[in-house]
Every structure is written in structure tokens, then in C-alpha cells.
């Protein structure tokens, strides 16, 4: 299974894998690959940045996620969302809270 991976500057360390089951035969026309995402979710992500194309069959393991889980989600819904590790999410939440608190006094 082939997939494209995107990141979103608004969400550090979050990646979205989008299935490309017909690759390379699906490259003749430009498509909105992120169109498989639910509209509300996609709108909350902001602008996307293409990271890489990946052939999961040729990739023995993935860094932060279980390859079998990624494959299952790609086959069932067409995409997989890789969330940041808990410590990164906690640190981001703390930074946002501090910024919000600092903005109160501006």
C-alpha cells in the first residue's frame, strides 16, 4: 500500500497519512488527496504541507506508530492520523495556557 504523508504547521508533530491504493496509476490528474478527511476535521487542520510518499510494503517499521494499525486505517477509511506523543501534547498545552494567560494582561 502506498500513501502520502502531510503535516500541518498549526499542529506540531501531527501527521496525516492518505491512502494511494492505485499508485502510480493515479497520478495522471491532480487530485485533492486530503478530500478523504471529514470536512470539519480538515478545516481545523489549516494549511497542509506534503512531507513524503511512502510505500508501506517496502517499509519494515514506522517510527512512532504501529504499521499494522496504519494499514488497517488506510484500508478502512482512507487515512490515518498520527498524533504527537503525550509529552509533546502536554508541553504544547502548557505553552498555549501560558500564552493565553500572558495575553490577559496585554
* pLDDT in the model for residue 88: 64
Burial class, 14, CB count within 10 angstroms (exposed 0-12 / middle 13-18 / buried 19+):
middle
The yes-or-no verdict on residue 94 having pLDDT over 90 is no
| For residue 7, cis peptide bond before it (omega within 30 degrees of 0) | no
pLDDT in tens, 60-91: 988 888 999 999 999 999 999 998 777 765 77
What's the confidence (pLDDT) of residue 73? 94
Domain 2-104 CATH assignment equals 3.10.510.20: yes
Pick 101 or 2 by higher pLDDT.
Answer: 2
pLDDT tens digits, 4-42: 999 998 887 889 999 998 888 887 776 888 889 999 999
Amino acid at each position: 500500500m502506498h500513501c502520502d504523508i502531510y503535516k500541518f504547521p498549526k499542529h506540531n508533530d501531527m501527521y496525516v497519512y492518505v491512502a494511494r491504493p492505485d499508485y502510480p496509476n493515479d497520478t495522471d490528474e491532480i487530485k485533492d488527496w486530503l478530500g478523504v478527511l471529514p470536512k470539519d476535521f480538515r478545516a481545523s487542520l489549516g494549511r497542509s504541507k506534503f512531507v513524503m510518499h511512502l510505500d508501506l510494503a517496502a517499509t519494515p517499521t514506522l517510527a512512532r506508530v504501529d504499521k499494522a494499525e496504519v494499514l488497517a486505517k488506510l484500508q478502512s477509511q482512507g487515512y490515518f492520523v498520527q498524533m504527537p506523543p503525550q509529552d509533546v501534547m502536554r508541553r504544547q498545552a502548557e505553552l498555549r495556557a501560558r500564552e493565553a494567560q500572558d495575553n490577559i494582561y496585554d
